[in-house]
Amino acid sequence: MRKVEIYDTTLRDGAQSEDISFSVEDKLRILHKLDEFGIDYIEGGWPGASPRDAEFFERAKKFKCRKSRLAAFGSTHRASLKVGEDPNIRALLSAETPVVTIFGKTWDFHVREALRISLQKNLDIIYNTIVYLKERVPEVFFDAEHFFDGYKANPGYALKTLKAAVSAGADRLVLCDTNGGTLPGEVGKIVGEMVRTFGTPVGIHAHNDSECAVANSIVAVESGAVHVQGTINGLGERCGNANLVSVIPNLKLKLNIKCITDSKLRKLKDVSRFVTEIANLRHFKRQPYVGDSAFAHKGGIHVSAIQRHPETYEHIRPELVGNYQRVLVSDLSGRGNIIRKIKDFRLKIDPDSPKVAQVIRELKELENQGFQFEGAEASFELLIKKTFGLHRKFFDLIGFRVIDEKRREGETPYSEATIMLTVGGKLEHTAATGNGPVNAIDNALRKALEKFYPQLKEVKLLDYKVRVLTAGVGTSAKVRVLIESGDETHRWGTVGVSENIIEASWQALVDSIEYKLLRG
């Protein structure tokens, strides 16, 4: 079976999307998820571009990938500096990644107008940069920026740039449709010519400005490319990059190409929704393969047919990519997913119990209220445990009060929370301050409980996100709060929903604490 490498650039190209701002913690979480998923290469960012990326790579040194190889991204050295003196090149090396991806100009128009140097000088820059890095890094990939536009404008010069990279020792030649305007017929022809011309493995990096990024990636592979770059959910600058959530199953299931294992492919929907939640975006219901509507059927002939033979209106079995069939006019949808989660959570529960149907009903009601559990599986596990009688209360809230006070212009507001609760019949009344109302509540709750449950001292609140769910109603809108917590060995997400942001935060905080205490 033919093998194609998958190279993910969600953390770099995807982070350039409008409305996307990954924190360092976000990027580390996605890195962990993609490595767990089995991606071959994960591009972490541009170490020389921002302090955030520099911090990411510094922290990533402590993370040992099980499957993936982490790549640092950067440009060829500046024309005014020697390669070893360029701070961007030094930053790439300081990242200490096993892979460095360098982009260089291949379109003569860009060389003259953007770099404003001679065509030969650009060839020298490409060669010198790759030679220098190859002496210090195990793998160096060359991203041939604007290659398709450059090849159509001046094929002779575009070829010279690739030859310079090959002679310098580049491990991959990645042909980039940087402006995203090339159509599949052109991509197939040009990629095929490059594969026949060079012995170095050829890759594709497609943008989606003409809605062809996935098609261009597939055509490139059919023409001999063995390396595909893209992002989860097609995130990226302007109209985005090739969507790996579509590329991967197309390669695996349609072309029978080895790119990921069967068991990992079944995690595809989970990975897609995880990244969507971390990016604080809405899930795209109609996304191929993993969208909620991808295998949804509504009434009439379709429902009758798929109940006999799903293949009548489904191009693959949804379970192959972690999705499931939905019949919108009945309550048949969802049971399989619940049973799978029960197994994932290793709960000793009879999957044939009628309470499974009760979980489904509660789940649907909560989702109707705005709850989403893809990034908050700890809350969902608690829901199942409550339904099956496997949950116990660790404290009873009597009440809390939060004061947020700004004493004068120019000073940071002051937050204080007071809480009263009982633990095993014992009254506890305490207060704490914080850098905001939610942080103050979190501190007060911990202060009240830690004397009874010392293990809570291990718990840290790692991330906090708020999404407005009801548009057009201003400050009275319903919000969803997503919290990520963790201890020395584990991370978990919890969720709360309310018109009151404090109440939504309280729900998520309580779930986080109860999840920790139930785990022991």
Evaluate whether 200 touches 175 at the Cβ level (below 8 Å). no
Which residue(s) pair with 506 in the sheet?
none
Give the gyration radius of the chain's Cα atoms.
26
pLDDT tens per residue across span 95-108: 999 999 999 999 99
The whole-angstrom separation of Cα 169 and Cα 11 is 26
Residue recorded with tokens 């971390």 = 278
Residue 54 CA from chain centroid, whole number? 19
Evaluate whether 229 touches 240 at the Cβ level (below 8 Å). no
What's residue 324's pLDDT? 84
User: Between vectors from CA 448 to CA 443 and to CA 454, what angle results, nearest 5°?
Assistant: 95
pLDDT tens per residue across span 14-58: 999 998 999 999 999 999 999 999 999 999 999 978 899 999 999
What's residue 309's pLDDT? 81
Average pLDDT, integer, range 475-497: 89
Residue 365 CA from chain centroid, whole number? 27
The whole-angstrom separation of Cα 242 and Cα 202 is 16
The whole-angstrom separation of Cα 326 and Cα 337 is 11
pLDDT tens per residue across span 333-371: 356 567 767 877 888 888 888 888 888 888 888 888 888
Average pLDDT, integer, range 143-152: 98
Average pLDDT, integer, range 135-146: 98
Which residue(s) pair with 497 in the sheet?
480
What's residue 335's pLDDT? 64
pTM (predicted TM-score): 0.70
What's residue 479's pLDDT? 92
Residue recorded with tokens 């939504």 = 504
In 406-447, beta strands by DSSP E:
414-423, 426-434
| The pair of three-digit structure tokens given for residue 122, joined into one six-digit string | 């650009």
Which DSSP string corresponds to 448-463? Answer: HHTTT-GGGGG-EEEE
User: Between vectors from CA 106 to CA 84 and to CA 17, what angle results, nearest 5°?
Assistant: 85
CATH 3.20.20.70 residue ranges for the chain: 5-260
Evaluate whether 191 touches 225 at the Cβ level (below 8 Å). yes
Cβ contacts of 426 within 8 Å, gap of 6 or more: 452
* Best CATH choice for the domain 334-394+457-520 from the list 3.20.20.140, 3.30.450.40, 3.30.160.340, 3.40.50.300: 3.30.160.340
Q: Decide which of 462 and 69 is more confident.
A: 69
Residue 56: count other Cβ atoms within 10 Å of its Cβ: 25
pLDDT tens per residue across span 203-227: 999 999 999 999 999 999 999 999 9
pLDDT at residue 303 is higher than 80: no
pLDDT at residue 472 is higher than 70: no
CATH 3.30.160.340 residue ranges for the chain: 334-394+457-520
What's residue 332's pLDDT? 37
Evaluate whether 481 touches 505 at the Cβ level (below 8 Å). yes
In CATH, which superfamily holds the domain spanning 5-260?
Aldolase class I (3.20.20.70)
pLDDT at residue 390 is higher than 60: yes
The whole-angstrom separation of Cα 12 and Cα 331 is 41
Mean of pLDDT over the chain: 92
Residue 18 CA from chain centroid, whole number? 15
What's residue 331's pLDDT? 34
The whole-angstrom separation of Cα 389 and Cα 383 is 10
- Min mean pLDDT across 80-89, 246-255, 367-376 is at 367-376
Evaluate whether 269 touches 290 at the Cβ level (below 8 Å). yes
pLDDT at residue 83 is higher than 50: yes
The torsion angles phi and psi of 34, rounded to 5 degrees, stand at -70, -35
Residue 62: count other Cβ atoms within 10 Å of its Cβ: 7
Which DSSP string corresponds to 94-138? Answer: HTT-SEEEEEEE--HHHIIIII-S-HHHHHHHHHHHHHHHHTT-S
> Dmax of the chain from CA atoms?
83
The whole-angstrom separation of Cα 386 and Cα 320 is 30
Cβ contacts of 398 within 8 Å, gap of 6 or more: 420, 421, 422, 427
